[in-house]
Structure 1
């Protein structure tokens, strides 16, 4: 059963205790964040959409979480997709809209490719796709640092306390134009707790081990016959805009929207525009709040 802890709810899953935020009422949206990020990626989008939708944002064990998972938890992309499906089942969500940005979008692809019945429609928001895993220079550097022992990984991450270093392309510089305050928060758990560093390193090593994971699921992804919004940053330097176009062609019921003046983390850089695009998409798919479920 879900329980509540400092404003976030908690739920016991096979990997361990997962915290999540659950705001608003109406058709359910589950929003997934990326590696070394937490639910605050979606805070401004949730502030808008929760007026009409139930917005659920799990704190996935991707290195900015605050509750360590079990030592044997599978933190590969497949494992994280299984964890997400378990989360949907534990909350008994049906006809849910599953959205993911950055690594969160890779997890969404793995969930869709699995044929998960609880997902009625989905949104892929500037994310890892095809052979771009780990994505771009940013992802490759971070995955490389994951080869370090957790203590040395922690020392590497200590440098990210300096804004000038956080803004480098190898860090968060090419991921967000305006979200530096959020990225400064996201590094705190990994700096402060050895168990979180251990989880982060395990997650990054799993990513490094299976670089073909998204290419391998392309065929199953193409079989997902429910509506998908592909929202991509026009200026994305980590997730090629061409991949957004390819995903929109691959998925039978996809529509592509390109968003200006944003890097990868559209929910941080253009939350109002993304919320508007999401509302339009949900209205078209019968999830508008005049109809809904």
Structure 2
């Protein structure tokens, strides 16, 4: 019987790991020479499995790399003193690109992974050719986002006991569709194996809770807004904003205004989806990426 916390979909590619200055980072790699290389950045309390439906649609044409960032659903803890602030996580992504000697990368970020990706593009752009922001923080959003009550995640991170207590209700599958858990992030229910891979680490392992608490406790809109202003001023590479039309958390109107300010940006709206575009509409996301690359 597979371990719920360590299971990753085989379609993500070969499991690999690299040791960064912050500690070990596990990732999956489809390999191959397909260009451009796609590197995916997920948000809080999910892992590489969030891409399990999208990567199979792209891997014949592109090398796809899907790290498990230390955001509460990972398997291997980073160093106890690792910097898990937004600049620290962005630095970790940039260091991964360097460790793998990747150039001309398309960085794809969703949910708070989009906020971290904006920090990478703003402060570590050397290895990037393109940026995809898929329904995520914009300069008008708070971080954590206010809609859905996600601000509670940061508030309870103030103490290990309150942080641990917050997530215990998620042991009951019926809570997964609440709007302040995953109900406003995925329009359609996420299958149980993927959900348990997201939840078991934070529920069962103190060292993973330590990392997740540090990460969510450090987020702030001052980081994402500073990065956005830097991108508006200096980032001249193509940016695709893929946005869920029905999103409750990150309004399309925010994306429209952000697109208008970015030097080389295009907005594409995706119907019938909430924040997790790769869960709700992977085929549409893959098509829009192909069209954009073409």
Residue 191 of structure 1 deviates from its aligned partner by 1.0
Q: Which runs of 5+ in 2 are unaligned?
A: 1-6, 9-13
Match 1:59 to one of 68, 79, 86? 68
Match 2:200 to one of 179, 188, 191? 188
The aligned residue for residue 167 of structure 2 is 157
SS in 2 for 1:146: helix
For the pair 1:236 / 2:247, whether they are aligned, the reply is: yes
Q: Which runs of 5+ in 1 are unaligned?
A: 284-293
Query: Are the equivalent residues in 2 in contact too, given 1:225–1:253 (CA < 8 A)?
Result: yes
Deviations 1:154-199 (A, max 9, x none): 2321211222222111111100012422334301111121100111
The aligned residue for residue 205 of structure 1 is 217
Matches of 2:218 and 2:132, distance apart in 1: 24
Residue 47 of structure 1 deviates from its aligned partner by 0.7
For the pair 1:89 / 2:98, whether they are aligned, the reply is: yes
Match 2:23 to one of 5, 16, 19? 16
CA-atom RMSD, angstroms? 1.6
Matches of 1:124 and 1:195, distance apart in 2: 30
17 and 115 in structure 1: CA distance in 2 versus 1, 3 angstrom threshold: closer
Aligned positions, number: 276
TM-score normalised per structure 2: 0.90
Query: Are the equivalent residues in 1 in contact too, given 2:177–2:189 (CA < 8 A)?
Result: no
After superposition, residues 1-293 of structure 1 pair within 5 angstroms as: 7-25=14-32, 26-27=34-35, 28-132=37-141, 133-136=143-146, 137-149=148-160, 151-181=161-191, 182-207=194-219, 210-222=220-232, 223-283=234-294
TM-score normalised per structure 1: 0.90
SS in 2 for 1:97: strand
Residue 24 of structure 1 deviates from its aligned partner by 4.3
Deviations 1:179-233 (A, max 9, x none): 42233430111112110011111111111xx332112223211121001110000
Deviations 1:249-290 (A, max 9, x none): 12211110000000000000000110111111112xxxxxxx
SS in 2 for 1:171: helix
Matches of 1:39 and 1:179, distance apart in 2: 17
Matches of 1:252 and 1:102, distance apart in 2: 22
SS in 1 for 2:182: coil
Query: Are the equivalent residues in 1 in contact too, given 2:138–2:228 (CA < 8 A)?
Result: no
Query: Are the equivalent residues in 2 in contact too, given 1:18–1:59 (CA < 8 A)?
Result: yes
SS in 1 for 2:28: strand
